[in-house]
């Protein structure tokens, strides 16, 4: 499958790498290709500069948001949640129309420092905002409840026996995304319902952040026992 991964941060990188390993044709989208390829030194998380990462993943392409969206049959939004609408606008509504848009971002607000709050809460969600902004896209919210490493490889933790969720209005889009999740190793996928149900997984983030602090690791997830 031709997949566009929007975002060059840690989540975008690890998902792009894993999807490429699985045989997909992956292009990472960025705002400014020239600025991205000119980066030197580690990023804010201590990761190598993006050009170094890209050199280590020669099968992964790089393009503008619009170029990546043109390439992708399926789009993964791995941008910073506060900039997701703008990034997808640069990708172009026409480029997103009819395509499955997998939203793994979170509506985190860092304006008051750490821990961040949510800039949208129980009466709306980032997933819904994206669907409203791009009504012809087939938005599916998923994977936002765990860090990028576990998104790409759930087997890193407890053999992968933990839970992820999907929310979206299009049943076929959710079927496609569920298949992709299973190919990544996710064995317990719960369909919560339409896109309004994305509010629940997004509101879990404050608890996830507190668990990260309490446990001293971001490699954690939940299991729904039933």
- Rounded CA separation 125/97 (Å): 20
pLDDT in tens, 6-40: 999 999 999 999 999 999 999 999 999 999 999 88
pLDDT in tens, 186-218: 999 999 999 999 999 999 999 999 999 999 999
pLDDT at 53: 95
Residue range 2-215, CATH number: 3.40.50.720
pLDDT at 40: 85
Domain locations along the chain: 2-215
- Rounded CA separation 3/117 (Å): 31
pLDDT at 42: 83
- In this prediction, residues 74-82 reach a mean pLDDT of 97
pLDDT in tens, 114-170: 899 999 989 999 999 999 999 999 999 999 999 999 999 999 998 889 999 999 999
* pTM score, whole prediction: 0.96
């Amino acid at each position: 499958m031709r997949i566009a991964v929007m975002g060059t941060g840690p989540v975008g990188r690890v998902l792009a790498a894993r999807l490429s390993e699985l045989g997909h044709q992956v292009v990472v989208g960025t705002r400014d290709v020239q600025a991205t390829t000119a980066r030197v030194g580690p990023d804010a998380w201590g990761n190598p500069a993006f050009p170094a990462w890209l050199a280590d993943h020669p099968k992964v392409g790089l393009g503008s948001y619009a170029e990546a969206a043109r390439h992708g049959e399926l789009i993964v939004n791995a941008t910073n949640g506060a900039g997701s609408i703008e990034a997808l606008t640069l990708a172009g509504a026409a480029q997103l129309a009819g395509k499955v848009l997998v939203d793994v971002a979170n509506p985190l607000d860092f304006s008051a420092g750490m821990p961040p709050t949510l800039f949208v809460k129980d009466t709306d969600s980032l997933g819904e905002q994206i669907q409203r902004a791009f009504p012809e896209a087939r938005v599916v919210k998923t994977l936002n409840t765990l860090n990028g490493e576990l998104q790409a490889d759930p087997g890193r933790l407890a053999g992968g026996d933990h839970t992820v969720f999907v929310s979206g209005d299009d049943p076929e889009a959710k079927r496609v995304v569920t298949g992709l999740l299973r190919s990544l190793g996710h064995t317990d996928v719960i369909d919560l319902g339409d896109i309004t149900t994305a509010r629940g997984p997004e509101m879990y983030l404050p608890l996830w952040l507190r668990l990260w602090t309490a446990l001293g690791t971001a490699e954690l997830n939940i299991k729904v026992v039933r």
